[in-house]
Amino acid sequence: MTLNNTTRDELVPSRYAQQVGDIEVLVISDGVLPIAAPVMATNVDATSYASWLDDMFLPRDVLDWPLNVVVVRVGERIILVDAGLGVEFPDFPRAGQTVHRLEAAGIDPAMITDVVLTHLHMDHIGGLLTDGLKDRLRPDLRIHLAAAEAEFWSTPDFSHTAMPSPVPPTLRRVASQFLDLYRGNLRPFETEYEVAPGVLVTRTGGHTPGHSIVRVESAGERLTFAGDAIFQVGFDNPGWHNGFEHDPEESVRVRVGLLTELAATGESLVATHLPFPSVCRVAPAGDVFRCVPTVWDY
């Protein structure tokens, strides 16, 4: 079995295979969901942000926010990194595609040995609560996340966020539901943990207290899945705050540090909310950065 096995045709590509040395990486689009544009830049004046949106040919009111998850195959281990939104939210009918897109790639959920969660926001864990996925996962599934993340959601603090008013209680409810359902499967780590040879998950904090990134390394090649540490606006405006960030100032520090490192190493970057398939490299551009898309290999 290879991760890019085609069993279902779609007019728009929804999965992209990337080889990292001897490790197979598959980026899967969970779809897109609408988000109020101002949430993406909460600490800048409206004129500056509107100018950036115009320059990027993006609407000023509501954005289509991409959602990407990743599947990593190392030997017999099949590792799902994040699980998308799920299908519980009827207001987001174009998201929650992970289940059938896994199947289209020839991946039975029962084959998944490990799940790595960058954090417990609902668009990263909702898929694990979806009928058709949760009942097909193996009972000995290992779910890796930072201990600080699980601890945070017992009594979450939203005082530094700028989310639309219906969102925080929904995030709290979904995280609580997830923890109740999967507590026996959790494998919490403190700072970093090698999930499988060449697959390292590292806590960054910032976006949430236990937010983590995943690094895949093999045969001198490396790819970083940055989760929500980096958004599209963050390359040329890394100091802009996102309303979903629980510690905006720490998020900026994490973002700048990560982008600086990626620009120095030249390794590939994938992130949850960059346009699919989001595989790119980072280049310095004065005091900020550029996202340089990788040429598709097909």
Per CATH, the number for 15-293 is 3.60.15.10
- All structural domains of the chain with their residue ranges: 15-293
pLDDT tens digit string along 277-297?
999 999 999 999 999 999 987
Q: Each residue of 151-199: pLDDT tens digit?
A: 999 999 999 999 988 899 999 999 999 999 999 999 999 999 999 999 9
Q: In sequence order, what DSSP letters do the residues of 51-118 get, joined into one string? A: HHHHHTT--SSEEEEEEEEEEEEETTEEEEE-----S--TT-TTB--HHHHHHHTT--GGG--EEE-S
pLDDT digits (tens, 9 = 90+) for 41-59: 999 999 999 999 999 999 9
Consecutive H or E run containing 213: strand 212-218
* Positive/negative CA dihedral, 35, 40, 43, 48: negative
Is the pTM for the entire model greater than 0.85?
yes
